[in-house]
Amino acid sequence: MQLKTIKREFDIRKQPNFLIPIWIYHARREHYIYYEQSRLARGLTTTFSYYDWDPVSQMVCYTDKQGKQRFEKSIFNRERLDIIDNALFEEIFRGEMTAEKIKRGSLLVAYELNCNNRFDLDNYLHYKPINFMDIIRGLHFQFYVQLGLTNQYRYDHFISKPDWLYEWEQWKIELNGMNRLNFFNKLLLSFK
């Protein structure tokens, strides 16, 4: 008997806490992507790389920290051995190949490639708790999108974040990782 209540980490990434509505998590992720794009447009540094499913091209679009986009299409009749031997992909390779299975499989490949990347947006948001401002941004986002007051080419449904707050998050991520020694060396050199 298989328990349906136990989910893999990939499946709970969109809504880690079942008590918080999924639209708040969605709005938070969209806001972070907007912050990355607006900082790139102003010539400022960015923090995160991210990936998303493009329904038009049926491919995964990767965007790196420099804003470069790369598309990848996964064909699941011939894949690398590390993917074939991975238990997450077992359901993808069994049965008939549907559009939903191809989408899930492609996102699983992207998840596997970025699982240990601390600058991946989804990794960061998975462990970052929801705060009051995320709820406000989510309500504002839903209000504008549900009433049709905005579209994907206008940015009325986003609430900006000050640059100093964004840089504070960058600083916290740099403290929390492999470059900790380099960060403290830079900090000490800046005081000289």
Using CB atoms within 10 A of its CB, is residue 81 exposed (0-12), middle (13-18) or buried (19+)? Answer: exposed
Judge whether 89 and 108 are in contact, CB under 8 Å: yes
pLDDT higher than threshold 90 for residue 127:
no
Question: Which of 52, 48, 30 has the alpha carbon at shortest distance from 40?
Answer: 48
Of 95-104, 114-123, 131-140, 164-173, the poorest mean pLDDT is in: 95-104
What is d(CA 69, CA 15) in angstroms, rounded to the nearest whole number? 26
Backbone angles phi, psi at 43, to 5 degrees: 80, 20
* pLDDT, tens digit (0-9, with 9 covering 90-100), for 33-80: 999 888 888 888 888 889 988 888 888 889 888 888 888 877 666 655
Please state, rounded to an integer, the average pLDDT across all residues of the chain: 80
Going by pLDDT thresholds of 50, 70 and 90, the confidence category of residue 93 is: low
Q: Quick one: tokens of 102?
A: 């191809």
Q: What residue ranges in the chain does DSSP mark as E strands? A: 50-54, 59-63, 69-72
- How confident is the model at residue 82, as a pLDDT? 60
- How confident is the model at residue 1, as a pLDDT? 45
Judge whether 50 and 61 are in contact, CB under 8 Å: no
Q: Quick one: tokens of 62?
A: 């990767």
pTM: 0.76
Residue 166, number of CB atoms within 10 A of its CB: 20
* pLDDT, tens digit (0-9, with 9 covering 90-100), for 5-33: 677 777 788 888 888 999 999 999 999 99
Place of tokens 């709005």: 27
* Strands 50-54 and 59-63, sheet pairing: antiparallel
Going by pLDDT thresholds of 50, 70 and 90, the confidence category of residue 136 is: very high
- How confident is the model at residue 21, as a pLDDT? 92
